[in-house]
Structure 1
Amino acid sequence: MTTIRTRRTAQGTAVRTALESMAGFISAQELHRRLADGGSKIGIATVYRQLNTLVENQEADAISTPDGQLYRACEDPQTHHHHMVCSSCGTTIEIEPPDEAWFTSVARTHDFEIHSHTLEVFGICAACRAASSQ
């Protein structure tokens, strides 16, 4: 993937800093709301542009959920990684993917040539399960 060179702006820095302060994934709308609550005058379109640039530069992760796209600052932007995400609280853990041989075998079986892959696992974490059983 090619890194897109962009100049750093105050708005870009604000989005990046806010994203890095989040523990899990967050929507662009929620990130925008938090920035606005903090006094930032950044527009929602700028938040989306900045998030997409961070993703393209592998500085942020993006996942698709039934509720829409969510973003999170990458812990290690240099390595390809996958996530296990709590559907309730958003807690996110980086996980090891299935063996690459599995991807190759499935692709060969279905006559596919793999260009890339994304793997996200969703569930409910122990803390949320415990809270719901009380």
Structure 2
Amino acid sequence: MTDGVTRHTKQKDAVLQRLRGCDDFVSAQDLHRKLEDDGVRIGLATIYRQLNALADSGAADTIRLDGQQLFRLCGEDAHHHHLVCRNCGKTVEIDPPSETWLRNVAQAHGFTVESHTLEVFGLCPDCQQADGR
């Protein structure tokens, strides 16, 4: 038996195709609107399911920004981190801190490292300029 994650469906293809066209993180609602603008009829719940399945499988990144869950297809390299503009959503992949640094910080606080993600939020140069900073 297959489920919606592994089964090849028109809805999954539509979500993937449209997500590939997004360079930055996008919400399910924004993706739904873009698909509707393209003439694709698909339910918002289906988009949420597909996006969460992509995130669960590691094919998409997900972050929370201003209380909203956003998604982005992962690049070719398996493990990466991001700078994210909290104003416009522009996203840049960055090199991660060293594993040694992560383990030392965790150990200093009595933690062990099982996994990690790193998203740095701020303003991109364009938004800083528009904001007068």
Q: TM-score, normalised to structure 2's length?
A: 0.89
**CA distance, structure 1, for counterparts of residue 37 and residue 96 of structure 2:** 38
1:112-131 aligned at under 5 Å gives the runs 112-131=111-130
Q: Secondary structure at the match of 1:29?
A: helix
Stretch of structure 1 that moved more, 11-20 or 64-73 = 64-73
Shift of 1:122: 0.6
Shift of 1:57: 2.1
Shift of 1:24: 0.4
Q: Secondary structure at the match of 1:90?
A: coil
1:39-54 aligned at under 5 Å gives the runs 39-54=39-54
Q: Which runs of 5+ in 2 are unaligned?
A: none
1:50-61 aligned at under 5 Å gives the runs 50-61=50-61
2:109 is aligned to 110
2:93 is aligned to 94
2:70 is aligned to 70
Shift of 1:37: 2.1
Shift of 1:9: 0.5
Q: Which runs of 5+ in 1 are unaligned?
A: none
Change (3 A) 1:67 1:96: same
**Alignment identity in percent?**
49
**CA distance, structure 2, for counterparts of residue 9 and residue 111 of structure 1:** 46
Shift of 1:99: 1.5
Aligned length: 130
Q: TM-score, normalised to structure 1's length?
A: 0.88
RMSD: 1.8
Runs of at least 4 residues of structure 1 off by over 6 A?
none
1:6-85 aligned at under 5 Å gives the runs 6-76=6-76, 78-85=77-84
